[in-house]
């Protein structure tokens, strides 16, 4: 199984990338870092620069058919940049059209809103996104992780780094 991690080059919350990545590898799947530009992406520990990571594939060259699951890590910058990139938004939208599972943590649902993928869903996020999600047609809940199975898609959402254990368990369960 192949798992796409979609990340903007300008910044992602490092732990929200690395912990699910390790969980995916531990489940025997192959994670791939997809970004809007080649080279390396910058990770952050909140507002402080952390490590950089090599990009495996540019989103414009990636096909949804190559992957079994999409993970959208958070941080504030990552989804804010992704939702402004038509190729990234299209990639997310294609996952939903293909009926494939998607997992998003923290601020990552901003990208889902832009892809018009939250309407009719029950989900969670970083608390400041509550109104944005409700305005986009979602039902927001304050839970560690929310798995919403609606139609052919499974959508896994989580609030914050403190919820990573539950988020990673839900991601691994979908891979099984």
How does strand 153-158 pair with strand 145-150?
Answer: antiparallel
Catalytic pick among 46, 106, 148, 168: 106
State the Cα–Cα distance between residues 89 and 83, nearest whole angstrom.
6
Q: Is 106 a catalytic residue?
A: yes
* Cβ neighbourhood burial of 4 (10 Å; 0-12, 13-18, 19+): buried
Specify the pLDDT at position 150: 82
pTM: 0.97
Looking at 60-174, which runs of residues are DSSP E strands? 69-72, 102-105, 122-123, 139-140, 145-150, 153-158
Number of H helices, E strands in the chain: 6, 12
Q: How far is Cα 24 from Cα 39, in angstroms, rounded to an integer?
A: 23
Q: How far is CA 172 from the centre of its chain?
A: 14
Give the active site residue among 46, 107, 148, 168: 107
- Position 38 scores a pLDDT of 97
Q: What is the mean pLDDT of residues 30-50?
A: 96
Domains of the chain (ranges, CATH numbers): 2-175 (3.40.50.880)
If pLDDT is split at 50, 70 and 90, which confidence band does 8 have? Answer: very high
Which pLDDT tens digit goes with each residue over 67-90? 999 999 999 999 999 999 999 999
Q: Is 4 a residue whose pLDDT tops 80? A: yes
Tell me whether residue 107 is one of the annotated catalytic residues: yes
Average pLDDT over residues 139-153: 93
Taking 90 as the threshold, does the pLDDT of residue 151 lie above it? no
């Amino acid at each position: 199984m192949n798992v796409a991690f979609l990340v903007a080059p300008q910044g992602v919350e490092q732990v929200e990338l690395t912990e699910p990545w390790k969980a995916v590898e531990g489940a025997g799947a192959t994670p791939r870092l997809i970004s809007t530009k080649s080279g390396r992406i910058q990770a952050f520990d909140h507002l402080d620069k952390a490590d950089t990571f090599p990009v495996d594939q540019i989103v414009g060259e990636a096909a949804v058919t190559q992957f079994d699951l999409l993970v959208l890590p958070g941080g504030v910058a990552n989804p804010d940049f992704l939702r402004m990139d038509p190729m990234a938004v299209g990639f997310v939208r294609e996952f939903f059209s293909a009926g494939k599972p998607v997992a998003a943590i923290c601020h990552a649902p901003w990208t889902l809103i832009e892809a018009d993928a939250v309407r009719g869903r029950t989900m969670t996020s970083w608390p400041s996104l509550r109104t944005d999600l409700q305005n986009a047609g979602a039902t927001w809940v304050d839970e560690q992780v929310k798995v919403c199975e609606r139609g052919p898609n499974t959508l896994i959402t989580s609030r914050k780094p403190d919820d990573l254990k539950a988020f990673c368990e839900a991601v691994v369960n979908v891979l099984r």
